[in-house]
Amino acid sequence: MKMIDKKKNKDFELEEFFQAAKEISPAPSDVLRDKILESSKHEFKKLEAYSIRQNQNLWWKNLYSKYGNFYLITGYGAIASICIFIGFSYPDLSSVILPMDKQINEAEIIFADPIIDLSILNLEE
Amino acid sequence: MQIEDLYELDDNDLLIAYANGIPKSAEILTDRFMPKIFSQAFHRVQNTADADEITQEAMFRLWRIAPNWKHGNAKVSTWLYKVVNNLCIDCLRQKKPASIDTVPDPIDERENATDLIINQSRAIALYNALSQLPDKQREAVSMRHLEGISNQEIAEKLELSISAVESLIARGKRKLSETLKSQKSNLGYEDD
- What interface predicted TM-score (ipTM) does this complex get? 0.77
Burial class of A51 by CB neighbour count within 10 A (0 to 12, 13 to 18, 19+): middle
CATH number at residue B125: 1.10.10.10
Asked whether residue B171 falls in the same domain as residue B102, the answer is: yes
Which of these three, B51, B80, B95, is where a domain ends? B95
Q: How many CB atoms lie within 10 A of CB B172?
A: 23
**Rounded Cα gap, residues B29 and B19, in angstroms:** 12
Asked whether residue B87 falls in the same domain as residue B110, the answer is: no
Asked whether residue B117 falls in the same domain as residue B156, the answer is: yes
CATH number at residue B21: 1.10.1740.10
Helices (H), B1-45: 3-6, 11-19, 24-45
Q: pLDDT grade, residue B37 (50/70/90)?
A: very high
Asked whether residue B101 falls in the same domain as residue B91, the answer is: no
**Three-class secondary structure of residue B22 per DSSP:** coil
**Mean pLDDT over the full length of chain B:** 84
Which chain A residues are Cβ-neighbours of B177 within 8 angstroms?
10, 13-14
Across the interface, whether the CB atoms of B104 and A44 are under 8 A apart is answered no
B65 inside 8 A of chain A by CB: no
Element (H, E) at B189: none
For the segment B75-105, what is each residue's pLDDT rounded down to a tens digit? Answer: 898 899 999 999 998 998 887 555 545 555 5
Q: pLDDT grade, residue A11 (50/70/90)?
A: low
Burial class of A4 by CB neighbour count within 10 A (0 to 12, 13 to 18, 19+): exposed
Q: How many domains does chain B have?
A: 2
Asked whether residue B164 falls in the same domain as residue B183, the answer is: yes
pLDDT of residue A7: 43
Asked whether residue B124 falls in the same domain as residue B155, the answer is: yes
**Rounded Cα gap, residues B3 and B75, in angstroms:** 22
- Amino acid identity, position B36: K
Q: Which of B24, B33, B52 to mutate to test the interface with A (most CBs of A within 10 A)?
A: B52
Asked whether residue B77 falls in the same domain as residue B109, the answer is: no
For residue B145, give the chain A residue with the closest CA. Answer: A18
Asked whether residue B110 falls in the same domain as residue B88, the answer is: no
**Rounded Cα gap, residues A17 and B107, in angstroms:** 18
- Checking if the pLDDT of B160 tops 80, the result is yes
Q: Which of B30, B110, B144, B149 to mutate to test the interface with A (most CBs of A within 10 A)?
A: B30
Asked whether residue B162 falls in the same domain as residue B71, the answer is: no
Residues of the domain holding B136: 97-192
Element (H, E) at B87: helix B76-94
> Phi/psi class of residue B96: alpha, beta or left (left: φ > 0; alpha: ψ in -120 to 50)?
beta
Which residue of B122, B173, B176 is in closest CB contact with A20? B122
